[in-house]
Amino acid sequence: MITTTTTPPPAATPPPPAVVRLREVTKEYAGGVRALDGIDLHVGRGQLLGIVGPSGSGKSTLLHVVGTLDRPTTGTVEIAGHDVAALADREVSALRARHIGFVFQAFHLVPGIGALENVAEGLLYSGLPRALRRRMAADALTRVGLADRMKHRPHELSGGQKQRVAIARAVVGDPDLLLADEPTGALDSKSGQAVMDLLHELNAQGTTIAVITHDTQIAERLPRQVRIRDGRIAADTATGKAAA
């Protein structure tokens, strides 16, 4: 009697642990304006993605919801395993400070202090001693290639260097998620490319990064693109979802 054995199919690879998980998220404003309309989004730890769409598409509202700067009208928002709806405003602020770093187009550096102090300010509410905050800030500036610019004030730095300081400030506390909102928008093409190269390097070191942009050329250079249109996800290269 001949017996045969059947090799079971390989088990599906589980998705990486979620840093961001949105389920059926909507956001409505006065007058019935629906900026987000049923958003489902999973961002796994260590991913690098672009959230891309034209002005009015809803991507800025999505940034505010993911960044816990605004609460959704309906749906579930989880950041690093924490359900934002279950938290009081003070707890949401603490969650944001611990788990999310922000980089904006306008840099938002304090003009009268040096790069080291600007980065250390990112740890101001951490409860860490000042000396430790400064050491961590120095390490972060070294990480972004500005070890020789620690005492320079913003007016003594180029646009690209200012953005590097802003990125160092965003990652100094080792957040679970870095949200970069139009990080190259105020830069020339060469400086912008250098900043994008830096974001790729930080991601290779393990940082989860979402780049919010209207620039399709920037988005196409990223491993994953989530395209937003009329408050909905029109396409997501991670899920294979294509525009209808």
**135 Cβ partners below 8 Å, 6+ apart?**
none
Q: Tell me what pLDDT residue 5 has.
A: 56
Per-residue pLDDT of 56-99, as tens digits, reads: 999 999 999 999 999 999 999 999 999 999 999 999 999 999 99
pTM value is: 0.88
Q: How confident is the model at residue 243 (pLDDT cuts 50, 70, 90)?
A: very low
Range with lowest mean pLDDT among 13-22, 194-203, 224-233: 13-22
Q: Is the pLDDT of residue 238 over 70?
A: yes
Q: Which residues pair with 43 in a beta bridge?
A: 20
CB 67 within 8 A of CB 51: no
**Residue 244 within a domain:** no
Identify whether 12 is part of a domain: no
Number of domains in the chain: 1
- Does 3 fall in a domain? no
**Residue 179 domain-assigned?**
yes
In which residue are the tokens 């800030």 written? 137
Q: Domain residues for 41?
A: 18-236
Strands 82-83 and 100-104: unpaired
The answer to whether residue 1 sits within a structural domain is no
Strand order, beta sheet including 100-104: 100-104, 177-181, 209-213, 48-52, 224-229, 232-236
| pLDDT bracket for residue 138 (50, 70, 90) | very high
For helices 130-143 and 159-171, angle between their N-to-C axes, nearest 10 degrees: 130
